[in-house]
Amino acid sequence: MHSIGTETWAPVAFPQPPDDHGGVMAPPDETAPAPPQPSRPDYRRVLRGSLAAVLIAIFAIFAVQNAEPVDLELLWWNFETRRIVLLLGAAVFGVAVWELVGFLWRRRRRRQAGG
């Protein structure tokens, strides 16, 4: 309680707004460190973004230049598709085989190491 002249008064406590979890927000922590301020750009992130943009541009040019239809014959199947679809399908198939062989190799190595 504080007294001014002849009157006595008490400070008024204002309600705090609720936080995201429905509780009352805690007073700010004076010991909490300040968030880090970016001092310079992350050059690796910029380099990765630039490289990704260049690769996407090269892929777009590659796709446009290989958009003509081609005939595909495999055993008794015969159909027409775009060359880019054929190339991407072959690439995806190659990655799938690579990953399967790697998985089987790692599994064999784990079994040999385990006993």
How would you classify residue 75: left for phi > 0, otherwise alpha for psi between -120 and 50, otherwise beta?
left
The whole-angstrom separation of Cα 103 and Cα 109 is: 10
- pTM higher than 0.95: no
Side-chain half-sphere exposure of 77, counting CA atoms within 13 A: 5
For residue range 74-106, what is the model confidence (pLDDT) as tens digits?
A: 888 898 988 888 888 888 999 999 999 999 999
Query: What digits encode the pLDDT tens for the residues 13-60?
Result: 666 665 555 555 566 666 667 676 666 667 888 888 899 899 889 988
With a CB cutoff of 8 Å and minimum separation 6, the contacts of 9 are 1, 2, 3
